[in-house]
Structures are given as C-alpha cells and as structure tokens.
Chains A and B, each alone.
Chain A
C-alpha cells in the first residue's frame, strides 16, 4: 500500500490545493474537524481555528509566514480528555514537536488527533508580520511560498524570525501525515506522506493516487538544513560568549520587566499556575528591607534572573526552539537563542531530543542505573585525575 500520495496542483494555486486537500480530509478522511490557521473575518490576521464546515476551509492559510502562537497548547487543550470526535490538526513542525512533549507530560492525548505537518516555510515575528502583510497585501501567501521554495528572497523585505533562521527542522518527522513541499515539483503537485500507521489509515481513505518521493527532495532538504545548522552554530557561539557568566547573563536579561509573557507564549511551559505566582516567592515585606540593608541597593523585582534560570531548568529538556518566547517579549530580549543553546546541552546530556519520538520518556521521568558516572561515581578518569 502506498505511503505517499499526490495531490495535483491546479491553476498553480498552492493554497487552493492545500485547502482542497483539507476538505477531502474532512469529508473522506472521517475527520470531525480540522484545526488550521485561518484568516479572521474581521481582520487579516491568522489564528488557529477549529473548522467543521468544509466551506469554512476557504479561509485556511497554512502557508503564510504568520506564527501568532504555538498551537501545540491548543491541540493539547482539545485532546486532554476524550472529546467525542477526531481532529486533523495542521501544524508547523515545531508545533508538532511541542505537542509531542505535551503528550509526554500528559497534557494532551494523541489518540483522537491526526497531526498534519506541512513543510515549514518559516515565519516572522508577530509585529513584523503585521507590517509585512500590510505591505505585501492580503494574498501574499502564495508568492511567499513560491519564493521560499525556489530559494529566493521573499517579497517586500520579509524578515524571518530568529528562531526560523536557525531552525534545522523544516519537516515534520513526528507527524502522522507530512505534506511535502521542499524538493517537490509544486507547479504540478504536492506529496502527502503517511509517517505513522494512523496517518496511513487516514491516507488510504482519501483515495489519492500513489506517488514516489523525488530524489531532489532529500538533497534540497540537506542543503537547507546545513545552511541552518551553520547559522545556528554561529548564533550559539555568539550567545554563549554573551552569557557565559552570571554578570553577562544578567546583562543579557537586563531589559526583562517580569511580565512573564515568554512563559505564557512557551508551548511546553505547561504548569497551570507558575511557581512564580505561587506563595513560594511571596516574600515578607521585612525581607526586602533586610536585603536592601545588606546589599545597599536592591534591584526590583528581585527574581528576574531566578525566573529565567528556573524556566531554563524546567523547560530546557522540552524546548523545541519554536521562538515564541522571543516573539512574545515586549522588550526584544533574544530569549530563543539562549533557550536553544541551553536546551541543546541538557538534551545532549540525556541523549534526548525534544519532540523526536512520542514513545521516548522525558529525562527525569525514568531512572537509569548507570548514568553520569563522572558525577556520581569514582571512575577511572577521576582517579587518574587524582594521581596527577
């Protein structure tokens, strides 16, 4: 049975083709609803929308470089308990990876959700998108997609978000169905690949013609990823030297006003109520005076650094690098490179990659008899060290 199906592109209209595919999914795929970014009727901004009427799919726009929020949390909210229906959720790869993390954290359930991952064409920050779309007009999605897929500069001085510039995950590897655009002749067709058994079952119902993945795709993706990795490593180096001691880190975060927007925007920061709003940091008034007396001067609020360090501790194992923290920051603090840098190291320490595999247990949720020998045991290396 075919794992890959093709959907013909008519009128060179990629957006219309994708809308058509989603309509098929709703009708033949036995889906009760589709979750997909749609243009709002009152304003040309995109927001995740849950659609049950195929006609409404004419507003769906999974190609525009808008990424107002990470929809993983919405998908989690829709699936947390059995909802009585099946949903196809069209998400960016980073949204899917975040959803996978949320599933591991028991915040969502994958049973009634079919994850449709579309090759990610990147996005810009919210406020940039507002400006850019004003310049580019309402129907710039198609032009944007064609430019990105052709490796050309998108129109109207488009500026991608920092996170997208350094993202090495343009495809949705953990999705059930993956919509392939890179390295595919999008003039003629898009290709739909069933990644999981669940995806395969859905794909079979759609009755689409089978196809093969063109060899060009792998090559195109490889080039893209290499380019992104190089950029990522450059940014990591830059960030590391900007934060490699406490003083520098304080400087890096100096503009923070403790608005906690980054926390709200973070898809994997899943606590119902953050520890920073509980009584744990509910200091006595006398305490502030004591501190001020001891130090001479006390910067307020006091726990800015502590807040970010706590979030790094809590979230770096689950960070998928979607960039919403930077997107949400009112003071333009480059949080994404910082989180991604720390996340790379913590995830490497546990041989873990957030969002990679839904069956993998997150670090700290499982116990291994032997790990971190250099920390917990007197290994041979340490003895050699002592002998020196």
Chain B
C-alpha cells in the first residue's frame, strides 16, 4: 500500500465518507478524511442494527485485498488505514484552486483533551461536577462536561464540552497523564463588544458573559461601537440588527473595514427577517433571536471563542474533494404539528427509540418508557414527520424511514415478543429497495407488526396517566382514538446543520431544499468541477444508496486526479522482509515508563528480572516516553543496533502505534506481525487508586507481567511473513453495453486500463434505445450519444458486439473468459476483474386482458407510442394505469422502483398534451422516494385521480363486446367503500422490471443470483455492488430495479471497486492468510464447504486443497473445522494460541 498516486480530501466521516475514503485509499491515493465531530461513523455510531439484515456489518466495508493496510476491527470503533489521515474535530473553511490541484483550508477545534495522552481512565468525568443531557443518547441520559462522545470508540479520548464546562479545574487535578488543558486565563483576554441601544439588554448580556469568564465592553450605538473598535481590538461583536443611528448591516460593513478579522453575531427579533439571512452573506457569523436565550447565546459565543483562540489551521493540497457531509433530521419541536413531541414525554423520535433499544443506551437495551419506567405494551410509529409536507417546504420523501420504522418494530417485537402491539401509521408504505417488500411481509407475518394506512392528526395526553392518546382517520373516514404507551416519530431527513457552511467554503450550489445540487445524470458532480458529492449529502438516501454514491464519488475524484496527471502507475518496490523462520527467536523488549511520574510506579526491576528468565528475551530496555519522537528514536536505535527478530513493546493503546510499528518494521525489514504492543498502562492507572497497603504496586506489576508474558508466548511462536504478492491482469471485462456497462467501462478505461465491453446485441445503449426521457422531461438522448461516442472512441475500450460469454474460469486478478461471436472464432480474454451489467427488461404479463385486447398495453409500449408522432392523446377520453402488475407478490415479490415515477411521467405528459383527459392511476403504494415525490404532488394537482387498491382485491378488466367498444375497469375504492366502474380507451400496465442476468453467467464467475434472478451482492448495505467472491461486481438493472441516475451511480461504484484491484500490478496478500499442511490433510473438504469467501478448492490433478490467498480473508473458519490442523492460518498456529492461553493461565494463577 502507500503508493500515493494522488491525494484527495473527503469531508465527513460518516458511512459515506468512510466508504469514499477507503475506496480512494485502496486505489493508492492518499486521503485526508475530515470529520467535524469527535468520532467517525456519523449517525451510524448511534444505530446498532440496520435493515434488512437486522444486524450491523459495517466491518464488511474494510479492505478485502491488501487487508493489512487497514486495521481489521469494528468500523464503529475506529478506522486505521495507511493511506488515510483521519482528522477529527476538523472542518473545511476554504477551498482554492482547480480540479487536480486544490488547496483546502482546514480548521481543527481542539477538544480540550490531548488525545495522545488521554488513556480513557474516566477519572476526569467522575470528578466533573457538571451534568448535561447526553446527545449520544439523544438526551435520554446525562453526561458530564468532560465526556466520551461515544462509548465504543478506539482509542476513546475524553472531550470537553466548552459550553457546559465551568472551568472549575476539578478534572485537571485528577488526570493521571496531564492530558487536560483548561486555558482559564485566556477567556479573560477575549474581549467581546456588545452593541445594543437598550441598556437592560447590554447589561444582562455583559453580566452573563462575564460569568463565563469573558471580558465585555458595551456600546449603545453604532458610532460608539465603531469608535471603540478604532481604539482597541475586539475579536467578537454582538450587535443588534436595528440601532438608532445605523442598521446592523451598515455597522457590520464598517466594523469589518476597520477590523477585517472581527466576528459578528447579530441579534434580531424577527427570525424570518431576510436582513438576518443577508447579513450572513455579508459575513456575519450567525444571528441570535430576541428575546435572547442566554444558553443559546453562550453556546454560540463559546463556539466563536473556541474557534478563534484554540483552533488550528492547516492547508492541504489535494487533487479532488468529496463531500460526504451526510444529513440531519427534521427537528419536531420546530414544526407546527409535532404530535406533542416535547410536551408528552412518551412521544419519542426514531433515533431516541434506537438508543433506548441499544445495549450502550441509557437503559442497557431494555425497552421501557423513558420517562416513568413503565413497560411498553402498545407502541405506534408515525411516518412522514417532516416529510411529504408542503407546508414545511418538504415536498420530498425521506426514503429511509419506512424501512427504519419496520426494522424498529421488528426489534421491539424481538425483544418483547407477543406482549407488545406494534403499529406503523403510514400514507404509502415505501418498500422500493431490493428485498424490502419481503422484509415488510415478514414483519407482518412472522413478527405480527400491524400497518395502518392513515396519517394521525394529533396526540393528546391522558390527564391521569400521561399516556399518549392518538387520533387518526381511516381511509374510509372512520375516526379512531387510541391510548398507547409510546409514540415514535419517524423523522424526515434534512440537510446537515453545517451544509451551508460546507457549501460556502467549497463554493457549491445547494438545491431548493438545502441539499447539495447535482445534475440528473451526474449523480456525484456538484456545481464546482473537482468537488464531488457522496453519501446522502445530495439528499434522501438510505445506507445502501449512500454507500453506492460514495463509491461513485470516489471514482469521479479518482478520475480527476488521474486526468490531472497525478498518477504513479509503478508499484513501490519495498525492500524484502527478513526471513526469520529459521532463526531462533530473539526478542527485544521495550518498556515505556510513560513520563517521569509513572516511571516510579513502573516496577522495572521486577519486570526485567521476570522477563529475563525466558532465554529468548535478548534485551530489555526502558524508555521514558515511547510515544514521543525522542522515545521512538531511542527504540529505533536499539532495534537497529541489536537487529532482534521479535520486538515487544510495553506501552499503552496498541492502536496508537499502528503507523509507527509499521515504520519501524520497514526500517529493520521485519514483518509487522513480529512486533507487538502490549498495554501495560491501563493496569498501572487502575491499580493507582488502590492503596499501597493492599499491595497495589505488586498486583499491578503482576498484571503487567502477565500481559507481557502472554504476548511474549505468542510472539516467540509467531510465523514469519507468508506474504506472496499475486500478479494481477490489469484489464477489466464488462458484460453488457447499456448505460451502466458503458459508464463502468469508461470509469475504468479513463484510468488507463484496458476494458473489453461485451454486448450481446448489435448496438450499445440498452434500454436507452427506447427510453428517451425521464421524469421531469429530461432527455436521455445527449447522455446516450455521449456515452456511445466516448465508448467507441476510447483507445482503451474494445467493444465486442453480438458477443456472449461462453465460459469463464479463474479468480480475482486472473480470470479467463471465452467469448462467442456468431460467425467468428472463439476468443479467450484474460482479465483481472469482471463487471456484470447485463441489465433488465420490462416484465411480461397476461393479467388484465393484456395480449387479448389491443387497448391494454404496458408502460414501455406507451412510451414507444408517445414518441411516435402519429399517436394523438387527444383521441382518448380516459386512460387507466394499473400499478404493481404481477409485482410485489410471489413469485415476483419485489417493487420495481421505477414504475410509479414512469406512470407519473406518462400521466403528466398525456395531460400536458390533452388537459381534458380523464386519467386514473390504480395503485397499492406510490413509490416516489426522494425528490420524485414532487411529481406525485404535481400529478395530483394536474388532476390525475389516484385510486388505491389492496392486493387481495385487485382491479378487474371486463373484456368488451368488440374491439371498438371501451374497456371497463372495476376497482374497489377504499375511500368511498364502493366498487367503481371506469370506462376507458386505454389501459396501461406497470409490469415492473425483470433482470436479464443468466444464472450460468453469474455462476461462471463464482457469483450467485437471488430468488428473483438479480445479482446477489455480498451485502446489501455495505458491499452493494460486489459479489461475495472478490473481483466480481455488478451494476445497473442486473443488481436491482433502479432509475438511470441510480444505475449510473452503481456503475461508477462498480468501476471504483474494480479499480481498487486493477490499480495494483500485484495483490499483496495479508499476513493472516490460510494455508494447508498437505501431509496432514485428509481431503475431507470440510474447509472448502466452510470457507465463506470461496477461497479454497480441491485440485483433482494435484489431489491437494488449494487456497487463493487473495480471496482468503483470514477468518479462520477452515481452521476451526479442520480436526488436525492441516488448515492453518498464518500467524495463528495452534501451537501459538495454546502457548498464549497457557501463559495467560499461568499468570492468572
């Protein structure tokens, strides 16, 4: 790894940012991953389990080839990759330059605690007297002013909340490592100018600010203020927006002329005031709403103070920028109709419920009512809170919430069983993702979750018990009133709080809803070239889609870096590692005393004496602070002088040394697995509390010795490196020449790698050959023409028309595919990766008289007719569209995602050409996720009549007496409670999409298809375009039904995933890779059956089990099923493990 072709900046380390950063890093780029908060993972840090698997699985995003470049542990805990510099508590404030050479300004906000020195002992939090609501648990629990931002991070340094902190200094007194810095005196030096004409306001603000330790000056007019600014500096000014002598804006401008660095907070009584918004454009930092909430004011002032006095600026030079700023939630207290949220404590948000269900949550995962601890027997979810609400400027669907609510209901059911009633109130049930429909049915059938199609209008509180009483109206008009125990609000997505700030810093446009603006067919491009958008930053995605878009953004970033000439195709030639397998172990032990203070507590004599008894320990040294540069130098010198073949460090958090250990190993040509770091500091710190009389010192030393001896026991039996780089055929094969296949091929070829594009038909373009526009009247013509032209003219793409794959063998890096073209000789191509983009087609049907009556057609046939100039909509009186034809029920039990938008597109176009047309859409749920919701609104406004039907009472079509007579559609309208008869000239059926992925083709590459014939991805959420078998990818419709932009995003993502592999001439296999001791092997094939990565097979000719080290992920399953250790995982031999266990048991007495 560490090839450093180019560098990129990824803003936001939520799930999207992590994906983009890893994708770029794995392709050899250096990545700055910048995160505003103190931890990675974004919202996922708070979610334990995700749909549709109902478990986590984030770790599946970790690298699978060259695994050793990254730490292989839970991604919710942390991320360490050789090529990723993770910068927490950091924001981007400016971006200059051009694509290929940007200069970004980053601002790091210190946390008040030195992360390198904090050992996470928690003494500070115990000593802290301040308690505030804990945002990690959504305010359901409480935390101190010095706290752990999330409980499970590694390393997990404490952090000071500067707003809550009273600077009392209790924490600094107890911190054993001196990690806390409380710059008390600096606040006195920070002078704030308060400008207001009302004395009472000036005085009250002054008093409050002085209580917080700031120096305050005040002025009653603009002139006075300016005079004061001329005399002396004030880094911060709080100014009223309306002053007697000048308005706030004028003062702002004048003040900035005198003191360009001044920060201004404006105070206004009118929130909707455009002046306040405008003021921010002129450089005001923020505004405070009058009457001023002192806590809000202090929070904002402290934030400014922190940034101005404590923050550290740095510039980074990068080729491209990926914005993965994520999203935020709608805040229910801010809206008009909040269902008593904040009033009735038994009304909670979805995220609050997730925390209540979490083992790390405020109730240890037991679901009870947070307010009174009462058991939960009836729990209801309200969907679309803040979504699909025109009054809230939210004419969009937040996409994730239906599934999230179902998942939450299932989790609740799993925990409480039949004792709890769960009901989800929704308008439409939007289960339009892969496998979502079956997931929802499972919730109904297996878990007993109830669904109610209704939008509740209010929540009251029972005056006696406080229980929420919900009121809602059923479709048939019946009013219901129900008492429940808990109401859960499924909150809408909103732009992340700092989206405007990121947009301003990077100069990109936002869309009308405040998310990043993107063009229809460029799903990851922002308005500024070289600045990409990944994840949900452009709005309204679930995790899977976010991950796809993040990978797609990584591809575009990589393309920019490549076209900027910043690529280094040559592999770095690392010096070979020493082969120590035949040397007797010689261990260098280095003990860190962690500063002079603890040096006295480290029982050096005892440890040295005990460790020396092992004849393999050659030298023991003690170093003051290994973590400092001087300390590390001392260690390096000792290692270089003695050339040990094993190094054991007794220090603190092993993960803090990941990078340094690798560096040292590189210097002395030792495999990193031959060096181990043991935490001896935690026992010292825990033991410190114990009184010496109770033998504290001795117990600590014994514990430290035990840890060291256990590590030593393993280290001396540690095998040397087994790394054998596998050569890669740096060439890709893409099957399918539709828009997805072409996009994927171009993505790879633009990086200089050869691509063979296989198309079974005689022309490229796939469905775009008939699909000429999309929802919103956007023509696909330009997109298709450009893609075909680029593909045909690309020097690195070879298009094979009229060609199919006959057969294929091989594995990642070494595939061999035989191609078949009628009338031509068979051709065999070697390639390193394959992308399946075989697309899909409109499903056929024989329902609703289709095929028996000419006036019953499909949506695709309607599209073809409408592009034919002879078709005249004005000749029609009435059109009926029927959705979900043979869809969302077995055997095709999935939503095809595009049919509702297609129906809307066609309906709107027909009505545009013939406004008098009677148009009916018969539907089950309208699946307009994301921004396409606005077209549903538009269609209703345009007069389309939407009639819902239930799957057990489908509409029927009466065959007419003659072909000329109109057809009659009968449908049960749940609103009227009556069957309607509609005479119609045309019936249009939405039959959905079927994949055209031959299972044999997928199987030839070791991939599988799912129950519906779509490509079976390794993991729906975390590896959405990869097969379980490495090196095989899919995109577009072969993956699942999706729109054109979504198909392009998957194509880009697949190309990027492929580039991780192609961009290396050799795959470096990991240290922990399985191998076979053939003389012991009984060929029982249990290991082959067990291997989840298809990394093993029996070679009949050799009569041996062969392991593909590039595919092996070192999980050790083979080793557990092999009875006689013929299957071995390098670095984890049975002997070694037993030796370690023995050492631990011996130490434990």
Contact = CB atoms under 8 A, between A and B. Distances in A.
B1124 A275 contact: yes
Contacts of B1083: 106
Contacts of A272: 1079-1082, 1124
* In the A-B complex, the 4 residue pairs with the closest CB atoms: A380-B417, A271-B1124, A275-B1124, A365-B1089
Interface stretch (A168-176, A181-189, A277-285): A277-285
A290 B1146 contact: yes
Nearest to B54: A377
Contacts of A384: 417
B1080 to A, nearest CB: 5
B1121 A273 contact: no
- Listed residue (A279, A365, A377) with the most chain B CB atoms within 10 angstroms of its CB: A365
Interface in A357-376: 361-362, 364-367
A111 to B, nearest CB: 15
B299 interface: no
B414 A380 contact: yes
A386 interface: yes
A314 interface: yes
Given A107-B1082, A270-B1084, A275 B1123 contact: yes
Nearest to B1134: A280
A9 interface: no
B1146 A383 contact: no
B1024 to A, nearest CB: 19
Interface in B1043-1097: 1079-1086, 1089-1090, 1092
Contacts of B344: none
Contacts of B1086: 105, 362, 364-365
A282 B414 CA distance: 48
Given A106-B1085, A365-B1090, A271 B417 contact: no
7 contacts: A270-B1084, A272-B1124, A278-B1080, A280-B1135, A281-B1138, A291-B1146, A383-B417
A133 to B, nearest CB: 36
Contact of A387 (B366, B1081, B1082): B366
A278 B1085 CA distance: 20
Interface residues of B, number: 30
B982 to A, nearest CB: 45
A273 B1124 contact: yes
B415 interface: yes
Nearest to B1087: A365
A298 interface: no
Given A280-B1138, A294-B1146, A386-B366, A271 B1080 contact: yes
B416 interface: yes
B1125 interface: yes
A270 B1089 CA distance: 17
A107 B1084 CA distance: 6
Contact of A280 (B1081, B1090, B1125): B1125
A1 interface: no
A294 B1121 CA distance: 33
Interface in A96-123: 105-107
Given A364-B1121, A378-B365, 13 more contacts: A105-B1086, A271-B1082, A271-B1126, A275-B1123, A278-B1125, A280-B1138, A365-B1086, A365-B1090, A378-B414, A378-B415, A383-B416, A384-B417, A387-B366
Nearest to B1080: A273
Interface string A346-365: 00000000000000011011
A256 B1084 CA distance: 29
A386 B417 CA distance: 14
A106 B1084 contact: yes
A379 interface: yes
Interface in B1086-1142: 1086, 1089-1090, 1092, 1120-1121, 1123-1126, 1133-1135, 1138, 1142
Interface residues of A, number: 34
B1131 to A, nearest CB: 15
Contacts of B414: 377-380
A365 B1121 contact: yes
Interface in A249-294: 270-275, 278-282, 286-287, 290-291, 294
A270 B1135 contact: no
Contacts of A290: 1146
Interface of B: 365-366, 414-417, 615, 1079-1086, 1089-1090, 1092, 1120-1121, 1123-1126, 1133-1135, 1138, 1142, 1146
Contact of B366 (A106, A287, A291, A383): A383
Contacts of A362: 1086
Interface of A: 105-107, 270-275, 278-282, 286-287, 290-291, 294, 314, 361-362, 364-367, 377-380, 383-384, 386-387
B1079 to A, nearest CB: 7
Nearest to A80: B1083
Contacts of A106: 1083-1085
A67 B1133 CA distance: 39
A186 B706 CA distance: 71
Contacts of A280: 1125, 1133-1135, 1138
Nearest to A376: B55
Contacts of A105: 1082, 1084, 1086
A280 B1123 CA distance: 12
Given A271-B1080, A367-B1092, A279 B366 contact: no
A294 B415 CA distance: 47
Contacts of A282: 1135
Contacts of B1079: 272-273
A383 B1142 CA distance: 36
A274 B416 CA distance: 48
Contacts of A314: 1123
B585 to A, nearest CB: 11
A364 B1121 CA distance: 7
Contacts of A278: 1080, 1124-1125
Contact of B1124 (A274, A361, A386, A387): A274
A290 B1123 CA distance: 28
A298 to B, nearest CB: 13
A364 B366 contact: no
A365 to B, nearest CB: 4
Nearest to A270: B1082
A346 B415 CA distance: 28
A274 B366 CA distance: 48
B1084 to A, nearest CB: 4
A88 to B, nearest CB: 26
Contacts of B415: 378, 380, 383
A206 B89 CA distance: 85
Nearest to A361: B1089
Nearest to B716: A284
Contacts of B1082: 105, 107, 270-272
Contacts of B365: 378
Contacts of A377: 414
Contacts of A294: 1146
A35 B263 CA distance: 97
Nearest to B1103: A81
B1085 to A, nearest CB: 5
A366 B1090 CA distance: 7
A278 B1133 CA distance: 12
Contacts of B1135: 279-280, 282
Contacts of B1138: 280-281
Contacts of A281: 1138
A371 to B, nearest CB: 15
B630 to A, nearest CB: 37
Contacts of A379: 414
B265 to A, nearest CB: 48
A274 B1126 CA distance: 10
A273 B1123 CA distance: 10
Nearest to B1086: A365
Contacts of B417: 380, 383-384
Contacts of A386: 366
Nearest to B1084: A105
